[in-house]
A and B are shown apart, each in its own frame.
Chain A
Amino acid sequence: MKSLAELEQIRKKALEDVRLRNSEKDSTRVVVGMATCGIAAGARPVMNAFIEELGKRSLGNIKVTMTGCIGVCRLEPIVEVFEKNGTKVTYVNMTPEKAVRIVAEHLVNGRVCLDYTIGAAEK
């Protein structure tokens, strides 16, 4: 059985992760559309895939948050990535598998996965 005491260990690790990446102070944000439409389309597993993958890679400076209905429910699950420089990339029809690729290619290596974006879906 886990206990809250374990959190102290995890805290040390998390602090280490943040310290290593402190230069990138204004962190990137991953925002998942979590209204009824998003949840029904599978937004929660997508969000969990982001959290898990970011945890594995110790990317503690990237925040995963939620928002309400973005307005294009037919393209849910929708994920918006807000970068440090203020640009936004909107990914649509998301799946947990796509989330893993976005972490690797976009969030780690800075290459936007163009084929998953709203621009590609709405051509």
Chain B
Amino acid sequence: MRDLSLHLMDILRNCVDAGSSKVSIGLKADRDDDVLTITVDDDGRGIDPGIANCVKDPFVTTRKTRKVGLGLPLLADSARMSGGSLELVSKEKGTLVKALFSISHIDRPPLGDIGATVAGIIGAETDIRWILTFDNCNKIFSLDTDDIKKRTEGMDFSQPVIIAWIKDYVNEGLKFVFGGVLNEISC
């Protein structure tokens, strides 16, 4: 994966496959500790306790098409390579994925086109409520698909014009929160 937005897409697909109805996505930069935290919190069916301890093993997967599953292992590797870690918390209902990255580490992947990831998944999975929050240096941006639903008065927002607008909206928020350059994190 070239950047964090592609990892995010991969993890969000897991939430969809787990049958979630509400997914919260968070990107939070903590300048004092030099930590970027990406959280994905869903209310899906969760990870089978039998494999919960070994899902970071690429040869453990629930998919049927082949015997390797690389989504979480690749994310775990990206996090580890940049001085961070990947935590998985099985909740009563659903899973919380928490990926930590050291912001200043030279191997930390750039943020990438988060707007394209978020807009793509919102448009493709309109039945799920998506909540997005960016947080950096007291600057906060958030998006809740329930608000979009209200604004569009229940219209199906998988329409290309609406998805394109969401993409630009999210990327504007990303620039506002994380600094002028889309890919980078600054104050």
| A-to-B contact residues, CB < 8 Å | 1-2, 4-8, 10-11, 13-15, 17-18, 34-37, 39-40, 44-45, 47-48, 51-52, 54-55, 58-60, 62-66, 68-71, 73
Contacts and interface: CB of A to CB of B under 8 A. Distances in A.
Contact of A55 (B13, B117, B120, B163): B163
Interface residues of B, number: 43
Contact of A34 (B13, B65, B165): B13
Interface of B: 1, 5-6, 9-10, 13, 16-17, 63, 65-66, 69-71, 74, 113, 116-117, 119-121, 123-125, 147-148, 151-153, 155, 158-165, 167-169, 172, 176
Contacts of B164: 51-52, 55
Nearest to B2: A40
A39 to B, nearest CB: 5
A1 B170 CA distance: 11
B161 A66 contact: no
Chain A: interface secondary structure? Answer: helix
Q: Which of A13, A18, A51 has most B Cβ within 10 Å?
A: A51
Q: Which of A37, A47, A65 has most B Cβ within 10 Å?
A: A47
Contacts of A58: 161
B117 A14 contact: no
A64 B158 contact: yes
